[in-house]
């Protein structure tokens, strides 16, 4: 049923909540788009979908429709990204009070039944933890590549070890770690890799983003004005 062949499917994961997975999904998406690639975004955070909110500040999106011929979900095209999220089908204040099996079913539905079209990359914004969404995405749906997000913080590092152990158990490939919210600087505005993260994980640290003032960061996620300098020119390409 899937229409893509050579698309790179990459899950952006961490283990810990609030470390920048959703923000980095969009930062990477904007980076790849600026290089001319066609990017799809799948929000796999069923209980706390924030991707669309971050992408369109006014939340002005319509409900998904089905393609009459194929019965597939027609994704939204937002800022040239092909996007699907449970957020399109729920009211903004409504909680998804769903147990694991239903969460898995919804993720599978969003992934398998969306008419993604021809994409170069599908980026999957993962929820926190190592629960049902991870087993569904990495195991049942056989997504093999994972970008890890780390913050130099006891809780994040401890949870990231759990995520790494899950990745190993499922024989998946970590593409490396993106360190976020760094407060280690060599010179102003030039963050350096955390020695602790470097020592505790075998994964390559791909780049480091500093902690920016919140207001600036929100703008940066979409325009990459100041953030672009931290991302290697050939990142993922």
Ligand X SMILES: Nc1ncnc2c1ncn2[C@@H]1O[C@H](COP(=O)(O)OP(=O)(O)OP(=O)(O)O)[C@@H](O)[C@H]1O
For ligand X, give the closer residue by CB, 2 or 78: 78
Nearest to 42 by CA among 73, 5, 17, 70: 73
Is 150 in a helix, a strand, or coil? strand
Which residues make up the interface to Mg ion (CB under 5 A)? 21-22, 50
How many residues touch ligand X under the rule CB under 6 A: the total is: 20
* Residue 159: contacted member of ligand X, Mg ion, none (CB under 5 to 8 Å, by partner type): none
Q: Is 128 in the site for ligand X (CB under 6 A)?
A: yes
Q: How far apart are the C-alpha atoms of 126 and 124, rounded to whole Å?
A: 6
Spatial neighbors of 185 by CB under 8 A, at least 6 apart, are: 191, 192, 210
Burial of residue 96 (CB within 10 Å: 0-12, 13-18, 19+) is middle
Q: How far is the CB of 132 from Mg ion (least distance, A)?
A: 16
Q: Is 50 in the site for ligand X (CB under 6 A)?
A: yes
Q: How far is the CB of 127 from Mg ion (least distance, A)?
A: 7
Spatial neighbors of 174 by CB under 8 A, at least 6 apart, are: 146, 147, 148, 164, 167, 203
* Residue 201: contacted member of Mg ion, ligand X, none (CB under 5 to 8 Å, by partner type): none
Q: How far apart are the C-alpha atoms of 208 and 163, rounded to whole Å?
A: 20
For ligand X, give the closer residue by CB, 163 or 180: 180
For ligand X, give the closer residue by CB, 117 or 176: 176
Q: How far is the CB of 201 from ligand X (least distance, A)?
A: 17
Nearest to 23 by CA among 119, 125, 111: 125
Q: How far is the CB of 118 from ligand X (least distance, A)?
A: 27
Query: 21-34 and 214-223 helices cross at what angle (nearest 10)?
Result: 40
Contact 23, 147 (CB under 8 A): no
- Choose one: 34-42, 43-51, 72-80, 107-115; the region binding ligand X (CB under 6 A): 43-51
Q: How far apart are the C-alpha atoms of 55 and 222, rounded to whole Å?
A: 7
Q: Is 48 in the site for ligand X (CB under 6 A)?
A: yes
Burial of residue 183 (CB within 10 Å: 0-12, 13-18, 19+) is exposed
Q: Is 85 in the site for ligand X (CB under 6 A)?
A: no
Is 214 in a helix, a strand, or coil? helix
Q: How far is the CB of 219 from ligand X (least distance, A)?
A: 11
Q: Which of the residues 195 through 214 are near ligand X (CB under 6 A)?
A: 209, 211-212, 214
Binding mask 157-196 for ligand X (x = CB under 6 A): -----------------------xx---------------
For Mg ion, give the closer residue by CB, 9 or 21: 21
Q: Which residues bind ligand X (CB under 6 A)?
A: 14, 17-23, 45, 48, 50, 128, 180-181, 209, 211-212, 214, 217-218
């Amino acid at each position: 049923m899937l229409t893509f062949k050579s698309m790179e499917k990459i899950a952006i994961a961490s283990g810990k909540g609030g470390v920048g997975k959703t923000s980095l999904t969009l930062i990477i998406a904007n980076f790849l788009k600026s290089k001319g690639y066609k990017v799809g975004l799948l929000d796999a955070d069923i209980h706390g979908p924030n991707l669309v909110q971050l992408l369109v500040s006014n939340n002005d999106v319509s409900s998904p429709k089905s393609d009459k011929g194929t019965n597939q979900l027609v994704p939204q095209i937002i800022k040239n990204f092909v996007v699907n999220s449970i957020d399109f089908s729920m009211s903004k204040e409504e909680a998804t009070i769903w147990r694991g099996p239903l969460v898995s079913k919804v993720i599978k539905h969003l992934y398998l039944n969306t008419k993604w079209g021809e994409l170069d990359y599908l980026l999957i914004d993962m929820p926190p933890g190592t629960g049902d969404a991870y087993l569904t995405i990495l195991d049942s749906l056989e997504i093999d590549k994972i970008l890890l997000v780390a913050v130099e913080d006891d809780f994040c590092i401890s949870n990231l070890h759990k995520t790494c152990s899950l990745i190993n158990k499922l024989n998946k490939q970590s593409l490396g770690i993106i360190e976020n919210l760094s407060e280690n600087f060599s010179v102003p505005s030039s963050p350096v890799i955390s020695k602790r993260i470097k020592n505790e994980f075998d994964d390559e640290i791909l780049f480091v983003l500093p902690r920016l003032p919140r207001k600036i960061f929100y703008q940066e996620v979409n325009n990459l004005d100041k953030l672009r300098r931290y991302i290697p020119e050939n990142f993922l390409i």
